[in-house]
């Protein structure tokens, strides 16, 4: 077999070598350039729309500018940063960011993990049916979702207020989006609603990869279901858990952005805003480019550090079944 | 079936049914509300007693819905095609050759994962305005023409492709373009398709950037038009729900047809 292959290919190879020898220099250069040529379209677009703007934002963070074309950018040093840190609204936004980030963890980790484990042993047809349904919130657009929830929670005519009144839970209708004690909870609820089905499916997929023999061994050693969950399931799921944890911690404030903008615009009195929404407002409502850029840089670095440490944690603790 | 497992099974179905209800009821309420007439819209009836399409005709008369859906399709398809094209080329280079600066390129690609859009929106907004591309579909598409998520996902898919076959094709005299388009691509078709579906859905659902670029309904994707309609602060909840239903419909129809594949591709690639 190998001999016939050799015979088949040798004329071709020889021909190639000859041609190659003839213009050795240019073809060598060509081969050296080729990888970069294939990378070029991506590199150009990334350069123009990702790296250059990032550097530009860094530059803008030290300048005062109002985005008006033709006006000069005034160098102000660290002024934007100090103004940012003294801004009370921004302190509140940081608090809310923490609220959203931690508040989303039950929806992205705890509940889905339990649901995935509980439903693991189902007949596959039913499982697929359920999966197909509770995946739907994930693929819907944030704007459509906001419109629906705005109607559900409408202060005077929404179905939720209808039910609460009828069942006697409340005496008068709740203005969910303009009541400071409700607004951020509703936004958290919507974000969680969108996340729940997706996380459950991710964990369910990771569960099917676990070898059943571990559970049999555990059962023989007398471990009940809870201990099996704690000592077998959780360690073997740790890569997926850490992955979802990373996603959730890094991106939950970005996921809430659209809901904040459409449902509350950060109000009432800034009680539902978060850092990303404030950056947007600094730039496009207050036309204060410098402060917006300073905030963006600050949190780019901060989240970068969080990502790095999470990465280190997952390297140290994630348990892989080889 | 013994008693214990029966209880467990009931609990399983109960938990799942509850979750499904939570996922579906808001959608059900959207469709039902869109079919109710003016006197019924403010009641809690579970289905419309006199279903009407009046809300739909009002919504279609108030904003250029067909135009905006068309815009959305244009933006999403163009974005997906560009991302797949640039991604395929870049991923091929990364798999096929060893060259200077490769690890630097990987580092740069990974960093983009951490760049929040807010950290690049101002320069991009200024640039799009300078190019005169605001209120255009191209203006929405260009900054998203390449996706590092797509590059890295395709890179992974390429890696599982046997290198021996590539070597053999190379000896056969197939050019690199030929290897990519005629050897690798047909073999990882399903991966590319899955990735394409995700990128399409993400593009369709994109919010912040299209909102910055387009203000006029005629040049806006449906999401932005819907947002303008929601904020117009009318009490026309029936037609608002009609418009919302229309905005969800394309994605829901695609989901109906490609259900398994969409769920699988999200599992495979995760989210970004």
Nearest to B29 among A122, A143, A159 (CB): A159
| Cβ separation A41–B85 shorter than 8 A | yes
Residue in the block written with tokens 């103004």:
A83
Residue A181 Cα, gap to closest chain B Cα (Å): 22
pLDDT the model gives residue A200? 87
What is residue A171's DSSP assignment? S
**Residue B157 has which token pair?**
């898919």
Contacts of B218 (CB under 8 A, 6+ apart): B64, B67
Q: In whole angstroms, what is the distance from residue A132 CA to residue A200 CA?
A: 12
Mean pLDDT for B181-205 is 88
Helix or strand run (H / E) with residue B149: helix B148-159
Contacts of B199 (CB under 8 A, 6+ apart): B79, B80, B83, B84, B147, B150
Count of beta carbons in the 10 Å neighbourhood of residue B236: 18
Q: In whole angstroms, what is the distance from residue B192 CA to residue B185 CA?
A: 8
| Cβ separation B123–A154 shorter than 8 A | no
**Residue A26 has which token pair?**
């240019």
CB A113 within 8 A of CB A94: no
Residues of chain B by 3-state class (helix, strand, coil), percent to 5: 75, 0, 25
CB A157 within 8 A of CB A201: no
Count of beta carbons in the 10 Å neighbourhood of residue B37: 14
Mean pLDDT for B170-186 is 84
State the burial class of residue A172 (Cβ atoms within 10 Å of its Cβ: 0-12, 13-18, 19+): exposed
Looking at domain B65-269, its CATH superfamily turns out to be MetI-like (1.10.3720.10)
Q: Residues of A with CB below 8 A from B131's CB?
A: none
Q: In whole angstroms, what is the distance from residue A28 CA to residue A16 CA?
A: 14
CB A268 within 8 A of CB A179: yes
Would you say the C-alpha torsion A204, A205, A207, A211 has a positive or negative sign? positive
Q: Residues of B with CB below 8 A from A9's CB?
A: 171-172
Q: In whole angstroms, what is the distance from residue A58 CA to residue A66 CA?
A: 16
**pLDDT digit string, tens, across residues A214-250:** 888 888 888 887 888 888 888 888 888 888 998 899 8
| Cβ separation B93–A38 shorter than 8 A | yes
Q: Helix A88-105 vs helix A79-86: angle between axes, to the nearest 10 degrees?
A: 70
| Cβ separation A197–B259 shorter than 8 A | no
- By C-alpha distance, the chain A residue nearest B12 is A119
Q: In whole angstroms, what is the distance from residue A18 CA to residue B23 CA?
A: 66
- By C-alpha distance, the chain A residue nearest B271 is A247
**Residue A54 has which token pair?**
């990032």
| Cβ separation B12–A119 shorter than 8 A | yes
Please give the backbone phi and psi of residue A238, each rounded to the nearest 5 degrees, phi first: -55, -35
Residues of chain A by 3-state class (helix, strand, coil), percent to 5: 75, 0, 25
Q: In whole angstroms, what is the distance from residue A102 CA to residue A13 CA?
A: 62
pLDDT band at B194 (very low <50, low <70, confident <90, very high): confident
Q: In whole angstroms, what is the distance from residue B54 CA to residue B59 CA?
A: 9
| Cβ separation B173–A16 shorter than 8 A | yes
Residue A123 Cα, gap to closest chain B Cα (Å): 10
Domains and CATH numbers, chain A: 2-60 (no CATH), 79-317 (1.10.3720.10)
CB A240 within 8 A of CB A248: no
Residue B124 Cα, gap to closest chain A Cα (Å): 6
pLDDT the model gives residue B140? 95
**pLDDT digit string, tens, across residues A244-301:** 998 899 888 889 999 999 998 887 888 899 999 999 999 999 899 999 999 999 999 9
Q: In whole angstroms, what is the distance from residue B81 CA to residue B78 CA?
A: 5
pLDDT the model gives residue B233? 63
Q: Which of B137, B129, B125, B135 is nearest to B69 (CA)?
A: B137
Cα-Cα end-to-end distance for chain A: 36
Domain ranges across chain B: 15-52, 65-269
- By C-alpha distance, the chain A residue nearest B30 is A148
| Cβ separation A300–B105 shorter than 8 A | no
Residue B117 Cα, gap to closest chain A Cα (Å): 9
Number of Cβ pairs < 8 A linking chain A and chain B: 249
Residue B227 Cα, gap to closest chain A Cα (Å): 6
pTM: 0.88
**Residue A129 has which token pair?**
């049916």
Report how far Cα A14 is from the mean position of its chain's Cα atoms: 53
Nearest to B240 among A147, A162, A254 (CB): A147
| Cβ separation A138–B30 shorter than 8 A | no
CB B207 within 8 A of CB A258: yes
For an interface test with A, which of B23, B104, B203, B204 has the most A Cβ atoms less than 10 Å from its Cβ? Answer: B23
pLDDT the model gives residue A17? 55
pLDDT the model gives residue B187? 85
Percent over 90 (pLDDT), chain A: 39
pLDDT the model gives residue B270? 65
pLDDT the model gives residue A2? 42
Helix or strand run (H / E) with residue A64: strand A63-64
């Amino acid at each position: 077999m190998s001999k016939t292959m050799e015979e088949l290919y040798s004329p071709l190879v020889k021909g190639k070598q000859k041609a190659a020898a003839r213009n050795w220099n240019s073809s060598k250069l060509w081969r050296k350039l080729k990888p970069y040529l294939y990378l070029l379209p991506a590199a150009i677009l990334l350069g123009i729309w990702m790296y250059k703007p990032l550097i530009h934002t860094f530059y803008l963070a030290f300048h005062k500018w109002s985005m008006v074309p033709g006006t000069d950018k005034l160098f102000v040093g660290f002024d934007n940063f100090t103004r940012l840190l003294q801004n009370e609204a921004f302190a509140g936004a940081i608090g809310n960011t923490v609220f959203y980030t931690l508040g989303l963890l039950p929806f992205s980790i705890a509940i889905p993990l339990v649901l995935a484990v509980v439903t693991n042993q189902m007949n596959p047809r039913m499982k697929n049916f359920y999966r197909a349904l509770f995946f739907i919130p994930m693929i819907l657009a944030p704007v459509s979702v906001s419109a629906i929830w705005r109607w559900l929670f409408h202060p005077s005519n929404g179905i939720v207020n209808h039910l609460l009144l009828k069942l006697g839970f409340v005496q008068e209708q709740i203005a969910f989006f303009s009541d400071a004690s409700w607004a951020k909870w509703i936004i958290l609820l919507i974000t969680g609603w969108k996340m729940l089905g997706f996380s459950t499916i991710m964990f369910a997929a990771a569960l099917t990869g676990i070898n059943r023999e571990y559970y049999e061994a555990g059962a023989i050693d007398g471990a009940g279901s809870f201990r099996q969950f704690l000592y077998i399931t959780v360690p073997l799921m740790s890569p997926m858990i850490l992955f979802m944890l990373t996603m959730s911690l890094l991106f939950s404030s970005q996921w809430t952005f659209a809901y904040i903008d459409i449902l509350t615009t950060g109000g009432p009195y800034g009680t539902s805003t978060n850092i990303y929404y404030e950056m947007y407002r600094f730039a496009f409502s207050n036309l204060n480019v410098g402060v917006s850029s300073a905030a963006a840089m600050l949190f780019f670095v901060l989240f970068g550090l969080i990502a790095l440490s999470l990465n280190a944690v997952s390297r140290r603790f994630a348990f892989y079944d080889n | 079936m013994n008693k214990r497992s029966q209880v467990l099974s009931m609990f399983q179905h109960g938990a799942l049914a509850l979750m499904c209800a939570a996922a579906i009821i808001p959608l059900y309420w959207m469709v039902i509300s869109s079919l109710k007439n003016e006197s019924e819209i403010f009641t809690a009836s579970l289905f419309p007693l006199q279903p009407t399409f009046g809300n739909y005709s009002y919504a279609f008369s108030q904003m250029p819905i067909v135009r905006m859906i068309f815009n959305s399709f244009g933006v999403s398809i163009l974005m997906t095609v560009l991302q797949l094209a640039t991604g395929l080329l870049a991923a091929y280079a990364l798999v096929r050759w060893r060259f200077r600066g490769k690890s630097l390129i990987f580092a740069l690609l990974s960093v983009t994962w951490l760049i929040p859009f807010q950290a690049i929106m101002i320069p991009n907004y200024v640039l799009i305005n300078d190019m005169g591309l605001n209120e255009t579909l191209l203006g929405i598409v260009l900054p998203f023409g390449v996706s590092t998520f797509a590059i890295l996902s395709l890179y992974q898919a390429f890696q599982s492709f046997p290198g021996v076959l590539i070597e053999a094709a190379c000896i056969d005299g197939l050019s690199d373009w030929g290897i990519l388009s005629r050897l690798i691509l047909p073999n990882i078709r399903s991966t590319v398709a899955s990735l394409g579906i995700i990128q399409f859905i993400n593009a369709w659902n994109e919010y912040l950037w299209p909102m910055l670029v387009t203000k006029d309904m005629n040049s806006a994707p449906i999401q932005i038009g819907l947002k303008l309609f929601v904020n117009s602060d009318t009490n026309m909840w029936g037609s608002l729900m009609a418009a919302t239903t229309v905005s969800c419909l394309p994605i829901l129809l695609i989901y109906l047809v490609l259900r398994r594949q969409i769920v699988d591709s999200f599992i495979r690639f995760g989210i970004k």
